Amino acid sequence: MVSPLTLKLLRDLRGRLGSLAALVLIGALGVASFGGFDSVYRDLEAARNRFYADYRLADFSISLKRAPERVLSELARLEPVVAVEGRVRIPARLELTGVDEPVQATAISLPSPPRPVFNDVFLVKGSWFEDSSGRQALVNDAFARAHKLRPGDRFRAVIMGEQHELVVAGTVMAPEFVYVLPPAGGIVPDPSRTAVIFLPHRALQQWADLDGACNEILGRVHDPRKAPLKATLSLLEDKLDPYGVMISIPMSEAPSVQFLENELQELQRSATILPVICLAVVAFVLHVVLGRIVASQRTFIGTVRALGYSRWQVMGHYLGYALAVGMATVVVGLSFGSWIQGAMVGLYRNFYELPGLTPHPYPQVMLKSALAGVLAPLLGTLREAWTASSLAPASAMRPPPPERGGRVFLEWLIPGIWKHFPFSIKLILRAVLRNPYRSLVTFATTFVATALMVESLCMLRAVDAMIAHEFSISSRQDVSVGLREPAGRGLLQELVSLPQVARVEPQLAVSCTLSNGPYEKRVGVTGMTAGHVLYRPVDSRGEEVPLPEEGLVLSRKLAEVLHVQPGDRVRLRPLIGRRQVVEAPVAALADTYVGLAAYARLEYLSRLLGEEWVANSVLLSTYHRDPGPSLLQELNRRPYVLGAERRVRALTLLQDTIGRNLGVFFGILVLFTGGLAFGGVLNTALVSLAEREREIGTFRVLGYTKTEIMGIFAGESYLVNTLGVLFGIWGGVVFTRSVVDLYSTELFRLPELIEPHVLMRSGLLMMGFISLAMLVVYGVLARTRWLEVFKTRE
């Protein structure tokens, strides 16, 4: 038989179903994001770690002009080195029948058959090479999927100006190319235009003019920690100096590896922030709700205690509310969480070429999030349940102490003005000020929701602004052309005479190490000629930052990393050419949101390389914003062109992926915040409605209409909530700043964009959600059977 206490609990719960459901939803979001994001994190981390380990990701890579293979055994004998292997890595252009735009590719040799020592590849479809002739190639899986390439399909690769007919042997995933970025910059993968192909070592050696040699060395060290690895790398650089070292990096700094690491960190952050907010709100609101329930059920408590129920039974009864909410929260939250996990892992599978990335159930994660979901409401109500259980039967049977009357401080403060307030205003002000706790809860909920809303909307705008900044304000070329070898002025004449081309501007990008004392960073320094307009360093307001004759302009983040300010000097060492170290003054700072950047005059950079004037890429503007494929084909036919890319494509891609994904993310956040505001406001309003039932009944009897009563009631709610919204906007500004800070990495940042109209819109949206909640409250008020309340004493 069900105990009468349980029956009462169930009836009480049913009576508050609406507001408790809102609370359960908020809690479920917390549980879901806690468990969901953590599970995604584990899926991604496990798949990554397994892939890196099983496919032997190297500790470092060194690229150079040409190192004879015999050097490798020398290196392997060095004390800190475990093993090394040389391979060939060279840019290629792929041509597929029926695809009019060329594909930028990286061709990589797979040495030491049957499998390379480091950076092995995972075979998704098809088979390994049958021989080392170079008739067959392995292509990365995302590219193959983008073009529906299957084993046996043919394509052409242009390597060092020569065409090679290739057959797809199989499709693969490679640990160093989990996240494949277009070589010509850009921060989102473009699998249909970017490829990685793997070829037999001998064949690629021949095609790349590297017989008996290699141009990239991978290796493993005994101590892969950062500092010793750096030391080893500089030792290796010295040894390899005669062979033209270009870049040596720890594998952890490879773009794909870094991106993945970054994503994992962000997942971890998301698995903390959202759940904490949600569950805190649930605990807080339930704390208030139960406090009111206990206060209104004193007589009931006294009665059952007098009848001989123990205080633990009473305590258990009241904890039952929290337990019910907690259990519903867990059920909804866990299923929603596994949905989040599935959806996000699915999303990642589109972006990442990572074998074994599938959603797995994690019992500990579920247990952990379930525990959080139950504990939050229990902790929130512990004190109330305790209070209930410690009421002595006698005192509980006495009528509740009369509701406190008395003046509020405003009446003492401004008695003259107070006198003239209509009683409804007095009623509202007294209700707010005399129930500071209730008001505080309402205020806090609205405050948090508004702050989140401001943050979401500001971030949405920031994403747009970032894209505009990078792709319209800063760079305005229509086509960018990468050159195989640095070239002189003559080339510009040739390019400008092409059809459609309106303007050409040379650029020289040089990988350099910048350092300031202990702080060191490798970046590409971009050189531009006087009068450049197609690409300009700009500050956050979009103002152009002029380039000095001598010295550098740094991106703000880079300056931060190097601990320098305009006027300071940095040591600059080019990684190609004569590698002469110079002291360069930092002239000014510019703002970029993707990667780190440094800018200089092209002539200045050329001189550092020991040349007078060279460029290694050219920006074109055309008469049409989108020149179409014919110009690109024309460009790609030229042997000195490494690759050409239309900006329209990069921009569309960026807007499509980043824009859409972040848009959806923040869109969901906006809805969620709205829900939070709605649920919070609804709960506190319904509690205070229940508390004031008798008052409302009295008003009804006296002939007040529902609308008039709602006016008084809503007045209180709006007063507190409006304050919550106003302070919340301020809180949101602070919050946005800290989120921008938190998510500011060397790879990616968002502008700190706080616009008055966005703040206004957040405020209005919040007031909308609050009004929606008020509408529901009005519905409840209209349906309340006010006659009934007079039948009981309390």
Partner 1 sequence: MKQSLLEVKNVSKIYQMGEVQVPALQDADLEVREGEFLVILGPSGSGKSTLLNLLGGMDRPSGGNIRFQDQDLTRASDSQLTSFRRHNVGFVFQFFNLVPTLTALENVQVATQIARQPMDPLQALRMVGLENRADHFPSQLSGGEQQRVAIARALASNPRLLLCDEPTGNLDSTTGRAVLRLLWDVNRKLNMTVIIITHSQPVARMGHRAASLRDGRIVSLTENKEPIPPEEIEW
Residue numbers 690-709 binding partner 1 by CB under 8 A: 694-695, 697-705, 708
Question: Minimum distance from CB of 436 to partner 1 (Å)?
Answer: 13
Q: How far is the CB of 791 from partner 1 (least distance, A)?
A: 8
The three state secondary structure string of 198-229 is EEEHHHHHHHCCCCCEEEEEEEEECCCCHHHH
Q: Which tokens hold the place of 588? A: 């000014």
Which CB, 183 or 711, lies closer to partner 1? 711
Extract long-range pairs of 433-438: CB within 8 Å, 24+ residues apart.
Answer: 433/408, 433/409, 434/404, 434/406, 434/408, 435/688, 437/288, 438/288, 438/684, 438/687, 438/688
Q: Spell out, one character per residue from 708 to 727, where the chain touches partner 1: x when CB under 8 A holds, - when not.
A: x-------------------
Q: Which of 305, 643, 632 is nearest to 483 (CA)?
A: 643
Given candidates 434, 569, 579, 737, which one binds partner 1 under the rule CB under 8 A?
434
- Whichever of 402 and 518 has its CB closer to partner 1, that residue is 402
> Which pair of tokens denotes residue 767?
């007031």
Tokens of 274: 């959202």
- Nearer Cβ to partner 1, position 212 or 402? 402
Minimum distance from residue 716 beta carbon to partner 1 (Å): 11
Please choose, out of 69-77, 497-505, 647-655, 783-791, the segment that lies near partner 1 by the rule CB under 8 A. 783-791
Token reading at 115: 């499998």
Q: Are strands 615-622 and 245-250 parallel, antiparallel or unpaired?
A: unpaired
CA dist., res. 35 & res. 333, Å (int): 8
- For partner 1, which is the closer residue by CB, 354 or 710? 710
The rounded Cα 29 to chain-centroid distance in angstroms is: 18
Neighbouring-strand partners of residue 516:
519
Instruction: Output the smallest distance, CB 784 to partner 1, in A.
Output: 13
Q: What minimum distance in Å lies between the beta carbon of 698 and partner 1? A: 4
The strand order across the sheet containing 60-68 reads: 81-87, 213-221, 60-68, 245-250
Q: Provide, rounded to whole angstroms, the least separation between the CB of residue 295 and partner 1.
A: 14
- Please answer whether residues 80 and 219 qualify as being in contact, where contact means their C-beta atoms are separated by less than 8 angstroms: no
* CA distance linking residue 142 with residue 585, whole number of Å: 44
- Decide whether 307 or 702 has the Cβ nearer to partner 1: 702
787 binds partner 1 (CB under 8 A): yes
For partner 1, which is the closer residue by CB, 519 or 790?
Answer: 790
> Which of residues 125 and 434 has its CB atom nearest to partner 1 in the complex?
434
Tell me the C-alpha distance between 513 and 258, whole Å: 18
Name 283's bridge partners.
Answer: none
In the bound complex, what is the minimum distance in angstroms from residue 346's beta carbon to partner 1?
50
Which one, 206 or 424, has the nearer CB to partner 1?
A: 424
Q: Which of 611, 24, 83 is nearest to 289 (CA)?
A: 24
Q: By CB under 8 A, which span of 171-179, 355-363, 522-530, 785-793 interacts with partner 1?
A: 785-793
CB of 697 to partner 1, least distance (A): 7
436 or 488: CB nearest partner 1 = 436
**In the stretch 393-432, what mask flags binding to partner 1 with x, by CB under 8 A?**
---------xxxxx---------------xxx-xx--xx-
What is residue 594's DSSP assignment?
Answer: B
Q: Which of 49/424 has CB closer to partner 1?
A: 424
Min dist CB 342 to partner 1, Å, is: 45
Tokens of 99: 């695809």
| Partner residues linked to 168 by β-bridges | 137
Q: How far is the CB of 752 from partner 1 (least distance, A)?
A: 45
Could you tell me which of 491, 479, 581, 573 has the C-alpha nearest to residue 534? 479
Cβ-based neighbours of 384, under 8 Å, separated by 6 or more = 287, 290, 291, 293, 294, 318
Q: How many residues bind partner 1 (CB under 8 A)?
A: 29
Cβ at position 411, least distance to partner 1 in Å = 10
Closest contact distance (angstroms) between CB of 41 and partner 1 is 51
> In the complex with partner 1, which residue's Cβ is closer, 361 or 405?
405
Q: Is the peptide bond before 751 cis (omega within 30 degrees of 0)?
A: no
Count, in order, helices (H) and strands (E) of the chain.
24, 20
Residue 386 as a binder of partner 1 (CB under 8 A): the answer is: no
Q: Is 107 exposed, middle or buried (0-12, 13-18, 19+ CB in 10 A)?
A: buried
CB of residue 720 vs partner 1: minimum separation in angstroms? 15
Beta-sheet strands, E only, within 211-334: 213-221, 245-250
Residues 50 and 427: their CA atoms lie apart, in Å, by: 66
**Binding string, residues 656-695; x marks residues near partner 1 by CB under 8 A:** --------------------------------------xx
CA 204, 210, 214 angle in degrees (round to 5)?
Answer: 85
Distance from the first to the final alpha carbon of the chain? 30
How far does CA 253 lie from the centroid of its chain? 19
Question: Smallest distance, Å, CB 693 to partner 1?
Answer: 11
Give the residue ranges of DSSP H helices in 478-628: 490-496, 556-562, 602-608
User: Hey, which residues between 91 and 120 contact partner 1 (CB under 8 A)?
Assistant: none
Residue 359 or 697 with smaller CB distance to partner 1? 697
Give least dist CB 704 to partner 1, A: 6
Smallest gap from residue 409 Cβ to partner 1 (A): 14
Q: How far is CA 276 from each of CA 29, 75, 340, 682, rounded to the nearest angstrom?
A: 10, 51, 17, 21
Min CB(702)–partner 1 separation in Å: 5
Cβ-based neighbour number of residue 310 at 10 Å: 11
Strand segments, DSSP code E, in 69-188 are 81-87, 89-95, 103-110, 122-126, 136-140, 154-159, 162-173
Binding site for partner 1 (CB under 8 A): 402-406, 422-424, 426-427, 430-431, 434, 694-695, 697-705, 708, 787, 790-791, 793
